[in-house]
Amino acid sequence: MSTVLVIGASRGIGFEFVRQYREAGDRVIATARDDDGLARLKALGAEPLRLDVAQPASVSGLSWQLDGEKLDVALYVAGVIHRGSATTPPTQQAFDQLMHTNLLGAMQVIPQVLPWVEEGGGVFAALSSAMSQIASVPGSNSWLYRVSKAALNMAVSSARFDYPQARLVVLDPGWVQTDMGGGGAPLTAEASVRGLRAVLASVTTEDNGRLIHHDGRRAAHW
């Protein structure tokens, strides 16, 4: 039985990670911001923790809540999207919301969580996107989201040097049928997470810092 931490687990891909890992018999610690989310996680058999990644004060206590754990897998799934293009400047409110949730939250979580991932010799993965890849960018749609995920890739790739007993990667879940992805997306959350779980089980030290797609493809260029 593995011990899995899912940060941002109250809905969508995060919730599906919890469901599948619990179905597989693993122990899951999962975070949500509100009572409804915590109740849904508890109903799946997870150990719920209240956490708002957009609030630094909320993240600051995470390490002591995990004190003594040995994490086999730790996932940063929390994320939001903004769909504006480069024809319109983002508002400060939109910028702050995306960067706090998609980037700052992850950068604050990493030093809180990685010591316990190292204790378990495990994998830390942050949910990124194919839209983060600079070399293959097709346009400016959702440009603020693209920027936040590209910066997330750099944050995780940089952090790997400080935690040599863990493996750190970023994951592309594909275009998924969630509140963020919309009903017209080609992938169900169940299929995306099934693929991502196989990826996580296959990660080696050679993958450290890499972007990996849900179908196992390793990104050659970011």
What's the whole-number mean pLDDT along residues 62-89?
92
pLDDT, one tens digit per residue, over 104-119 is 999 999 999 999 999 9
Select the more confidently predicted residue: 186 or 173.
173
Q: What is the DSSP letter of 207?
A: G
The model's pLDDT over 129-150, given as tens digits with 9 standing for 90+, comes to 887 788 877 777 788 999 999 9
166 Cβ contact list (under 8 Å, min separation 6)? 114, 117, 118, 121, 122, 123, 124, 160
Cβ–Cβ under 8 Å, residues 82 and 94: yes
Letter string b/e over residues 134-148, b meaning 16 or more CB atoms within 10 A of that residue's CB: eeeeeeeebbbbbbb
Q: Residue 179 pLDDT > 80, yes or no?
A: no
Cα distance between residue 178 and residue 215, in whole Å: 18
Domains, the chain, ranges and CATH?
A: 3-213 (3.40.50.720)
Q: Which helix (H) or strand (E) holds 58?
A: helix 56-59
Cβ contact 83:141 at 8 Å: yes
Q: For residue 99, what are the contacts with CB-CB under 8 A and spacing of at least 6?
A: 148, 151
Write the burial class of residue 111 (CB in 10 Å: 0-12 exposed, 13-18 middle, 19+ buried): middle
Q: Tell me, what's the pLDDT at 219?
A: 82
State residue 222's pLDDT score: 54
Determine the Cα–Cα distance for residues 38 and 45; give it in Å rounded to an integer.
11
**1 has a pLDDT exceeding 80:** yes
